[in-house]
Homo-oligomer: A and B are copies of this chain.
Amino acid sequence: MIEFHSWARNTQQRMEQVLDTLLPATDIAPHRLHEAMRYAVLGGGKRVRALLAHAAGELCEANPAKVDMAAAAVELIHAYSLVHDDMPCMDDDDLRRGKPSCHKQYDDATALLVGDALQTLAFQSLATPGLCTDPGRQLEMVNLLAIASGSRGMAGGQAIDLASVGKSLEQSELEYMHIHKTGALIRAAALLGAHCAPELDQERLHAIDHYAQAIGLAFQVVDDILDAEADSETLGKTAGKDAESDKPTYVTILGIDHAKQLAQELLDDALAPLAPYGELANQLKQVAYFITQRSF
Contacts and interface: CB of A to CB of B under 8 A. Distances in A.
A155 B89 contact: no
**Interface residue range, chain A:** 35 or more
A112 B136 contact: no
A89 B108 contact: yes
In the assembly, how many copies of this chain are there? 2
A102 to B, nearest CB: 12
B124 A160 contact: no
B33 A151 contact: yes
A155 B123 contact: no
A28 B153 CA distance: 12
Contact of A121 (B30, B129, B146, B158): B146
Nearest to A151: B117
Interface string A22-54: 001000111011100100000000000000000
23 contacts: A33-B156, A37-B151, A84-B112, A84-B116, A89-B107, A89-B112, A110-B162, A112-B112, A115-B116, A116-B155, A117-B155, A120-B146, A120-B150, A120-B151, A121-B150, A121-B151, A124-B143, A124-B146, A127-B142, A127-B143, A129-B139, A129-B143, A139-B142
